[in-house]
């Protein structure tokens, strides 16, 4: 998708601090971090929202959680705990329409979210 910010990061058109890459996913640090670790994990495949995930995308979407596991370990937050969350559409606060898992940790996180 030529007008998608995260596809541009995937293409190297927009720079990002990439912390993880696999065949199906990449991850980079959020430009406006909400905790000491705030990484966005995205599929290489452009999928706009959770509503657009096809059953045939299950392996790709599952691989985002494998990435979360590995990044949390590398960041040293796996044992203390962290959140891996995906917003869907405007009411949930989604602003970039290429699905992404927010991996947030390094501090105690409140629940429920606002």
CB of 57 to Zn ion, least distance (A): 14
- Partner in contact with 46, chosen from ligand 5GP, Zn ion, none, beta carbon below 5 to 8 Å by kind: Zn ion
Check residue 98 for interaction with Zn ion (CB under 5 A).
yes
Residue 100 appears among annotated catalytic residues: yes
Q: Which two tokens stand for residue 38?
A: 């705030």
Show Cβ contacts of residue 21 under 8 Å, excluding neighbours closer than 6 positions.
27
Tell which positions 44-73 bind Zn ion, by CB under 5 A.
Answer: 46
Stretch that binds Zn ion, among 22-30, 51-59, 73-81, 95-103 (CB under 5 A): 95-103
Determine which one of 38, 98, 100, 102 is catalytic: 100
**Which CA distances in Å does 109 have to 25, 32, 72, 104, 105?**
25, 17, 15, 9, 8
In angstroms, what is the C-alpha Rg of the chain?
14
Paired with 105 in beta bridges are: 37, 82
CB of 32 to ligand 5GP, least distance (A): 4
- Applying CB under 5 A, the residues found at the interface with Zn ion are 1, 4, 6-7, 46, 98
């Amino acid at each position: 998708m030529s007008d998608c910010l995260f596809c541009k990061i995937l293409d190297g058109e927009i720079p990002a601090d990439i912390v993880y890459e696999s065949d199906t996913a990449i991850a980079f640090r959020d430009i406006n971090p909400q905790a000491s670790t705030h990484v966005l994990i995205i599929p290489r495949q452009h999928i706009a929202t959770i509503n657009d995930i096809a059953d045939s995308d299950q392996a790709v979407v599952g691989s985002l959680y494998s990435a979360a596991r590995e990044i949390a370990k590398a960041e040293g937050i796996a044992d203390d705990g962290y959140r891996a969350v995906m917003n869907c559409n405007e009411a949930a606060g989604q602003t970039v329409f290429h699905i992404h898992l927010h991996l947030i940790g390094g501090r105690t996180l409140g629940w429920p979210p606002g």
